[in-house]
Structure 1
Amino acid sequence: MEHLERCAWFLRGTLVRAAVRRYLPWVLAAGMLAGSILKELSPLPESYLSNKRNVLNMYFVKMAWAWTVFLLLPFIALTNYHLTGKTSLVLRRLSTLLVGTAIWYVCTALFSNIEHFTGSCYQSPALEGIREECQSKQQCHREGGFWYGFDISGHSFLLSFCALMIVEEMAVLQEVKMDRSHCLHIATTILVVALGFLTLIWMWMFLCTAIYFHNLTQKVFGTSFGLLGWYGTYKYWYLKSFSPGLPPQTSSLTLKRDTYKK
């Protein structure tokens, strides 16, 4: 447990900083551009990470949103209840996961439709011999063809959005003061470590996507959707009163309690 606490202390001191929330979007954008330029000008040799069936891609990235919700749900519930003590406020904050799910669903459906309407079925990966009889990607693949359309990078979108969302929610740790005797200490410590490592996985796989997959335009669109999803919620809508709101801060809670007393 001591090693776990040390790891949680390090991740907490690193990811919770305001500078991380401020500069992470720029780091993601720069990483996407740098990786894409490297892919175009000096492609790296094939490796385990360039194989779509690598472990991280198969068991983490393909279920990125499920992993993010699975860990954020108890983390938001525990930390927000510890600070506010109000179930209604906890439920309100948990609705951020519903908003994120809606953004994930709409964007992935949009990307799929764009690829469908801009694509055609070819007989070979060299884009030779259009097969007119295939009108959809699924039908094309069933008949042994290769569908080619404008495939916006879903990985660039989802991994950037998930990483930014986790970092924003972990900001609540600046206010959470929990001694070792507290019943929630162990659970919170485990969740901090898990979310920290999950964020590192998302950022690493985001960079791998930039280096090995898609073209520059597809990754620019994908990353832009991820950044817009984050900015539109945490930097705009969640600042409004009719929203799930931002992670609670002790200073604001104290101010509200003082106002009620008056």
Structure 2
Amino acid sequence: MAALEGCVRLWRSLCLHGSSRRHLAVLLAGIALGGSLIKELWPLPDSYLNNKRNVLNVYFVKFSWAWTFWLLLPFIALTNYALTQSVRSVLQRLSSLVVGTVIWYLCTSFFMYVEHITGNCYESEVLAELRSHHKDRHECKMNGGYWHGFDISGHSFLLPFCILTILEETSVLLDKRLEKHQLGTAINALFVALGVLSIIWVWMFCCTAIYFHDVWQKMIGTSFGILGWHVTYQWWYLQPFSPGLPPGRTSKDLKPHSCNN
């Protein structure tokens, strides 16, 4: 129990204040650019990390929004009910996960559309021979071809979006009322699980930046992820008809300031 509370205090002091979230958005953009430069100018040798079949990629990154969604769902429900005692407030805040799901769906669909309209079907990954008679990616793949188009990095979009969403939602733990609440143990356990998940997302985002895609594909993807966070938590959720910010958060939290731990 003491170890769990210690982890919560450390993570809360390091990551949950408004300035930390803003700085992290800039840091993530810097990682995307820096990793891209490493890939282009000083490429690293192949390793387990750039194997698309590695465990973290197959079982975590490919389902990153699902992992984020299903851990945030009970966390948001418990923390919001503990602070507001209102089922309506809980449901309103849970709708932020619906918004996140819509953003995920629309952005990934747009990326696939861009890849479709800019792509062609080739015999192999070396783009040796054009198979122009295959008109879309599905048909190309079904016939053993390789579809090559402008592939905006979905990982570069989704991982920053998940990371920033987790930090926004877990910032509710800055409210001192949750420290001694009867639901505190369950909330802290979910919080630590979300912290571990965030570390995995940051690590895999770094791997994506260093090993995969080209610089524009990653920078555009990352920009979409940061923009999705900015439009929701920094603007729309401040408006009356929205899921709203976590309890205790106001527009003042969006300005640089210092908070007591």
Provide the TM-score with structure 2 as the length reference. 0.92
In structure 1, distance between residues paired with 2:46 and 2:179: 48
Contact kept in structure 1, 2:83 and 2:177, CA below 8 Å: no
Q: Give the letter for the 1:83 counterpart.
A: L
Q: Give the letter for the 1:190 counterpart.
A: A
Q: Secondary structure in 2 aligned to 1:43?
A: coil
Contact kept in structure 2, 1:12 and 1:192, CA below 8 Å: no
Q: Secondary structure in 1 aligned to 2:114?
A: helix
Contact kept in structure 2, 1:140 and 1:147, CA below 8 Å: yes
Contact kept in structure 2, 1:16 and 1:171, CA below 8 Å: yes
- Which residue matches 2:215? 216
Larger radius of gyration: 1
Contact kept in structure 2, 1:21 and 1:164, CA below 8 Å: yes
Note the alpha carbon deviations across 1:173-212, whole angstroms, 9 max, x for none. Answer: 11143455x4312111111100101111111111110000
Q: Secondary structure in 2 aligned to 1:177?
A: helix
In structure 2, distance between residues paired with 1:251 and 1:99: 20
- Which residue matches 2:258? none
- Stretches of structure 2 that go unaligned for 5 or more consecutive residues are 252-261
In structure 1, distance between residues paired with 2:136 and 2:178: 55
**1:130-169 residue pairs with structure 2 within 5 A?**
130-169=130-169
- Stretches of structure 1 that go unaligned for 5 or more consecutive residues are 253-262
In structure 2, distance between residues paired with 1:167 and 1:251: 15
In structure 1, distance between residues paired with 2:115 and 2:145: 15
Q: Give identity over the alignment, percent.
A: 56
**1:60-139 residue pairs with structure 2 within 5 A?**
60-139=60-139
Contact kept in structure 1, 2:83 and 2:178, CA below 8 Å: no
- Which residue matches 2:246? 247
Contact kept in structure 2, 1:160 and 1:226, CA below 8 Å: yes
Q: Note the C-alpha offset of 1:2.
A: 3.0
Distance 1:84 1:153, change over 3 A: same
Say whether 1:236 aligns with 2:241: no
Kindly report structure 1 stretches of 4+ aligned residues shifted beyond 4 Å.
Answer: none
- Which residue matches 2:259? none
- Which residue matches 1:206? 205
Q: Secondary structure in 2 aligned to 1:121?
A: strand
Q: Give the letter for the 1:146 counterpart.
A: Y
In structure 2, distance between residues paired with 1:209 and 1:176: 37
Distance 1:231 1:178, change over 3 A: closer
Contact kept in structure 2, 1:31 and 1:207, CA below 8 Å: yes
- Which residue matches 1:258? none
Aligned length, in residue pairs: 251
